[in-house]
Amino acid sequence: MTWSTRLLLSVAMTMLSLVSIWTTYASLNDSILPEPKIPIPLAGDAVWQCSVVALGLSVAIGLMLLALKIAIIGGHKRLNIAGILGLTVVAFISITFNMDVLYRTADKDFYLRYSNDRMRAPYEAYMAEAQGVLLEKRTELLKGVAKQEGELDAEVKGLRKAPAGYGQYARQEEYNLTILSKQTEVELQGVEQGLQAKEKADELLRAARPTSLEDIDKNQAELRVIIKDLAAVTGIPLPELVKTESPLFAVFAKLMDVKTVGFKEIFFLILAFLLDLGDIVGYSLVPNARREKRRPYLDEDEPGSRITVLPRTADDLFPAVPVAVPGPSPSAEPPASEMAGDAPPPQVYRRRAGRVRLLRRG
């Protein structure tokens, strides 16, 4: 890899790391580690309330990931499947915060809508259950009155004990009907009050358009005041007070809900992953440069070199070198044939590879 490619890749990694550091800080500041904060004056009258712990943790995570990426690209750490998985595990913390900020930035009303729906859900279920109890109770009361009216009518018609007419038994049934009607009227008043309270609660939920978390808490307080009449009539205890979750847990609760997960959630999950590991994934997809095969060589100038060249043939190991056989020493007498003038010319013998010749004189 050339130095220019390494420079561009390093600049890109640094910019992505800065974005990841900011998203991590924003998520920590909104959800987990908002305190303590230090006011930092900016241009004009603007003041930045900096969360010290969130900023330090986000910078540490970003620098750690950047150092790992530089080590991988520099060749100090191998990049394989195990390396990518290990880097993903290390980057999972930053990916989590990226997902939180990206999702809430794309859907700015998500957290407010999620908090409002989470507050409404238990109260709506409670009012539905209370309404069912009240309607069932009212039906039973009206059935009792209708039954007593039937008893009176049957007695007057002579369908029971006495002959037809208004007699002693008919007066007794009319008396019972009067008492039962008064009792039922009182109980029905309580049922109607409970149903009216339920209608008021429904009107509050329909008209409520919260614009902040404070509005959600205010609506919940008013709702609990209204539905206390339901608890008094039905005997069903009020639901527990719903507390607002942090944005981070709200986003993950949305992602873990298989029924509501769609293309948008999957897209932002992949985007959060690539924000931290996209450069490494792209680097791993670049094909390796082809390297020429080099034959080993022997450095004769470097003593103790262990790199040797294996001979391919016997001629490479024992090359043909001209070898001159030395003659007699100058002090010795020449042979008689040489003195006569018919001495043969000196012969030159060649040593062949793998052969040793024994030369005999005379």
**Residues 31, 96 share a domain:** yes
**Residues 124, 28 share a domain:** no
Question: Residue 8 is which amino acid?
Answer: L
Q: How confident is the model at residue 103 (pLDDT cuts 50, 70, 90)?
A: confident
**Residues 239, 143 share a domain:** yes
Is residue 240 in some structural domain? Answer: yes
**Residues 24, 152 share a domain:** no
**Residues 57, 155 share a domain:** no
Name the range with the highest mean pLDDT among 69-73, 84-88, 201-205, 313-317.
201-205
243 pLDDT above the threshold of 70: yes
For the chain, counts of helices (H) and of strands (E): 10, 4
- pLDDT > 90: what percent of the chain? 0
Whether residue 333 contacts residue 359, with contact meaning beta carbons closer than 8 Å, is answered with no
Tell me which residue of 203, 306, 276 sits closest to 13, measured CA to CA.
Answer: 276
Verdict on whether the full-model pTM lies above 0.75: no
Is residue 348 in some structural domain? Answer: no
Residue-wise pLDDT tens digits, 157-179: 777 777 777 777 778 888 888 88
**Residues 132, 86 share a domain:** no
Per-residue pLDDT at 205: 86
**Residues 119, 241 share a domain:** yes
Q: How confident is the model at residue 338 (pLDDT cuts 50, 70, 90)?
A: low
- The distance from CA 269 to its chain's CA centroid, rounded to whole angstroms, is 6
Question: How many of the other CB atoms lie within 10 Å of CB of 54?
Answer: 23
**Least reliable range by pLDDT among 17-31, 83-97, 178-192, 225-239:** 83-97
Is residue 344 in some structural domain? Answer: no
Rounded to 5 degrees, φ, ψ at 181 are -65, -40
Residue 177 host element (H or E): helix 168-207
Q: Structural domain tally of the chain?
A: 2
Which position has the token pair 């981070």? 248
Per-residue pLDDT at 11: 83
**Residues 129, 50 share a domain:** no
Is residue 290 in some structural domain? Answer: no
Contacts of 13 (CB under 8 A, 6+ apart): 66, 69, 70, 73, 279
Residue-wise pLDDT tens digits, 80-102: 777 777 777 878 888 888 888 88
What pairs with residue 320 in β-bridges? none
**Residues 152, 89 share a domain:** no
Q: Using CA atoms, how far apart are residues 180 and 92, in angstroms rounded to an integer?
A: 69
Residue 280 host element (H or E): helix 263-285
Structure tokens at 200: 């008021």
Burial of 256 (C-beta count, 10 Å sphere; 0-12/13-18/19+): exposed
- The residue-averaged pLDDT of 325-333 equals 53
**Residues 241, 122 share a domain:** yes
7 pLDDT above the threshold of 50: yes
Q: How confident is the model at residue 78 (pLDDT cuts 50, 70, 90)?
A: low
- Domain end, chosen from 189, 215, 246, is at 246
Cis before 36? omega within 30: yes
**Residues 231, 115 share a domain:** yes
Is residue 276 in some structural domain? Answer: yes
**Residues 267, 232 share a domain:** no
Structure tokens at 312: 């391919």
Q: Using CA atoms, how far apart are residues 167 and 146, in angstroms rounded to an integer?
A: 21
Whether residue 107 contacts residue 255, with contact meaning beta carbons closer than 8 Å, is answered with no
How big, in percent rounded to 5, are the helix, strand and coil portions of the chain?
Answer: 65, 5, 30
Whether residue 121 contacts residue 42, with contact meaning beta carbons closer than 8 Å, is answered with no
278 pLDDT above the threshold of 60: yes
- The residue-averaged pLDDT of 127-155 equals 86
Is residue 100 in some structural domain? Answer: yes
Arithmetic mean of pLDDT over the chain: 77
Is residue 291 in some structural domain? Answer: no
Burial of 26 (C-beta count, 10 Å sphere; 0-12/13-18/19+): buried
Which own/partner contact pairs does 30-34 have at CB distance under 8 Å and 24+ positions apart? 30/100, 30/246, 30/247, 30/248, 31/100, 31/246, 31/247, 31/248, 31/249, 32/246, 32/248, 33/57
Domain assignment of residue 103, given as a range? 3-108+257-285
Whether residue 25 contacts residue 32, with contact meaning beta carbons closer than 8 Å, is answered with no
Give the DSSP per-residue string, 120-147.
Answer: HHHHHHHHHHHHHHHHHHHHHHHHHHHH
